[in-house]
Amino acid sequence: MSAADLPPSPVTWEDGAPRSRLHGDVYFSRDNGLAESRAVFLNGCDLPDAWAGRRRFTVGEVGFGTGLNIAALLEAWGRTRPPGAHLSVFTVEAFPLTADEAARALAAWPELASVARLMTARWPGRARGFHRIDLPELAAVVDVAVMEAADGLSAWDGAADAWFLDGFSPTVDPHIWRQEVIDLVARRSAEGARAATYTVAGSVRRALAAAGFAVAKAPGHGRKRQRLQARLEREVAGPARGRSDPRMAIIGAGVAGASLRRAFATLGVEAVVFDAEGPGAGASGAPAALMAPRLDAGLAAPAALFAQAARTAARLYESIPGAVIARGALQLEAGPKDASRFSAIARSDLFEPGEMSPIGAPEASARVGEAAPPGLAMASAMVLDPGAVLGVWLGPATQSVARARVAAVERAGEGPSAPWRLLGEDGAVLAEADVVCIAAAMGTGDLVQGLGMTPVRGQASFADAAHPITAALFGAYAIPTRQGVLFGATHDRGDRSLEPRPADRRRNLEAVGAALPELARALGGASLADWCAVRATTGDYLPLAGQVAGRSGLWVLTGLGSRGFCLAPLLAEHLASTIVGSPSPLPHALAALVDPGRFAARAARKGRPRPEQPS
């Protein structure tokens, strides 16, 4: 992508300080922005005192900008955080800066250098949606909603203990200070939340007071005479907070279970993992796996889910040594509608500029090494070594994964809040846990009835002889493995057999032959092997990720279909955060899309009898 295709920068520079091209205002005080951040926002929210003794603390911000406030916050958190505590930050930004622009702005303060380096190295892109900056070094995460303030606040499911209200001056940008936005801030607040801002404009004071904050003026910083600090006075009827430190059990050691274990560990919660046959024994044990989003031309909520999931997955896999076998993939045109579908996807703001690009037949042919139709190049797709991913996220298998088939999960006592008990095949108690996450693919349906899953058997074939190709999709796929090429795969609904079938290998060769005949000819003459597994799919081809309706403490992450390596890391973060009472990285609408109770809820809305109840 050329510089001309990029959206214009929202900033101009004056004596090394950024100013908004759109609003004409400065991002922070020209006197000393860091001192102002500390005085207005940290002191205004009583930080760091407010987090003393807290296990989890959440800060929200309106107007991420250069990240200066958040860098000042993280620097203070690094010095003063309670032992074992975790910080979640949520911030919203409609006109994102690039990492280089933020680094340039933050370079003015040497005391922020190490935090600024961490943040700018993981800086969010411009795609509309939630972006997560992981900061394990500081036991913190920053979720940046790249969208309008009101949209971001509506989509976020957290409850902040402190708010930094940092829009441009209400005289130049009244839109971001309107009552609707301030009401959302109040609705996304924890009991007694504090809010701080540099402006004492009457409209802002009135909006805060109307939303339930007690507002006070305080001595200002630098040239500003006064600033505002506020405290939420009304009671908060938020969702019940999860246990901060639950005893956790995970059933299943595929990519779903491994992603869960990782997500809990980053929140400081250790989980016990059980698997009937060991890590990667199921569908996650292929010689190679493609991580790519499902391409929905409608670009509605499912497309947003896959785009965010792919972004999360790519970021996390990138940090695992040896996990990435190859980068990029090519979706070849297979029908007359594909050209317009691909160009709609490439133009969509759900992806980074240049992440998806339509390419013509000559370039597609050059990439796959034989005559090919035009296609869509997916720059952020990856081919992964599943063993490397599972190895790092699960830890050494013999120590971290208990080898046992869980035959039943039942309450260990009376009442809806009793802990859970995992029973083995002989009826013996394997473990007791406050929270159980079942990530056992089709095995999940054996433990929780009524989830409505269908098995889809798949056989892929592979050759170890080297065929250096680009990962290509054409209905079927052909992707590089460490030694050769993996191709296929078959889709047979209702079939749970794991026996390789010669006929299915022929089907795989035919599928490759229809799109890439030269590759098929080379594969036909090579020594081939097959790999079979069963996908877990659902009625709407979207995953099941959430608590089982009516069964508190029992959660599922399954139904990942053909996209487990794309979906699992984000959905695991969603489950883990929600369970421990931290804000989820998943916007509301996307969480609803994957809620396991959605089928029953839809049936109830249509006045139909509910499907079979979970038992």
Ligand X SMILES: Cc1cc2nc3c(=O)[nH]c(=O)nc-3n(C[C@H](O)[C@H](O)[C@H](O)COP(=O)(O)OP(=O)(O)OC[C@H]3O[C@@H](n4cnc5c(N)ncnc54)[C@H](O)[C@@H]3O)c2cc1C
Ligand Y SMILES: C[S@@+](CC[C@H](N)C(=O)[O-])C[C@H]1O[C@@H](n2cnc3c(N)ncnc32)[C@H](O)[C@@H]1O
Q: Interface with ligand X by CB under 6 A: which residues?
A: 251-257, 274-277, 281-284, 286, 289-291, 405-406, 439-441, 443, 458, 460, 488-489, 533, 535, 558, 560-566
User: For residue 228, which of 193, 207, 190, 201 has the smallest C-alpha distance?
Assistant: 201
Number of residues located near ligand Y, criterion CB under 6 A: 22
**Residues 449/408, Cβ–Cβ less than 8 Å:** no
Taken in order 129, 62, 56, 209, is the CA torsion positive or negative?
Answer: negative
Q: What angle do CA 30, 35, 39 make, to 5 degrees?
A: 120
Bridge partners of residue 359, in order along the sequence: 375
* Nearer of residues 57 and 565 to ligand X, judged by Cβ: 565
**Residues 464/484, Cβ–Cβ less than 8 Å:** yes
Question: Among ligand X, ligand Y, none, what does residue 559 contact (CB within 5–8 Å per kind)?
Answer: none
Minimal distance, residue 127 CB to ligand Y, in Å: 15
Q: What angle do CA 385, 387, 388 make, to 5 degrees?
A: 70
Give dist(CA 476, CA 471) in Å, integer: 11
Minimal distance, residue 513 CB to ligand X, in Å: 18
Minimal distance, residue 72 CB to ligand Y, in Å: 8
Minimal distance, residue 69 CB to ligand X, in Å: 38
> Does residue number 66 form part of the binding site for ligand Y (CB under 6 A)?
yes
Close Cβ partners of 535 (under 8 Å, ≥ 6 residues apart): 283, 441, 455, 456, 457, 458, 491, 560, 561, 562
Beta strands at 435-438 and 248-251: parallel, antiparallel or unpaired: parallel
* Nearer of residues 269 and 544 to ligand X, judged by Cβ: 544
* Nearer of residues 73 and 251 to ligand X, judged by Cβ: 251
Site string for ligand Y, 131-150 (x = CB under 6 A): -----------------xx-
DSSP 239-281: PPPPPSS--EEEE--SHHHHHHHHHHHHTT--EEEEESS-TT-
> Does residue number 65 form part of the binding site for ligand Y (CB under 6 A)?
yes
* Nearer of residues 27 and 487 to ligand X, judged by Cβ: 487
Stretch that binds ligand Y, among 110-118, 167-175, 214-222, 270-278 (CB under 6 A): 167-175
Burial of 4 (0-12, 13-18, 19+ CB in 10 A): exposed
Minimal distance, residue 534 CB to ligand X, in Å: 6
Torsion-angle region of 46 (φ positive above 0: left; ψ -120 to 50: alpha; else: beta): left
Question: Among ligand X, ligand Y, none, what does residue 509 contact (CB within 5–8 Å per kind)?
Answer: none
Minimal distance, residue 286 CB to ligand X, in Å: 5
* Nearer of residues 94 and 528 to ligand Y, judged by Cβ: 94
* Nearer of residues 113 and 514 to ligand Y, judged by Cβ: 113
Stretch that binds ligand Y, among 63-71, 376-384, 472-480, 576-584 (CB under 6 A): 63-71
> Does residue number 198 form part of the binding site for ligand Y (CB under 6 A)?
no
Give dist(CA 495, CA 477) in Å, integer: 21
- The two structure tokens encoding residue 498: 């794991």
Question: Among ligand Y, ligand X, none, what does residue 480 contact (CB within 5–8 Å per kind)?
Answer: none
Give dist(CA 112, CA 107) in Å, integer: 8
> Does residue number 156 form part of the binding site for ligand Y (CB under 6 A)?
no
**Contact positions toward ligand Y, by CB under 6 A?**
10, 27-28, 63-69, 92-95, 148-149, 166-168, 173, 175-176
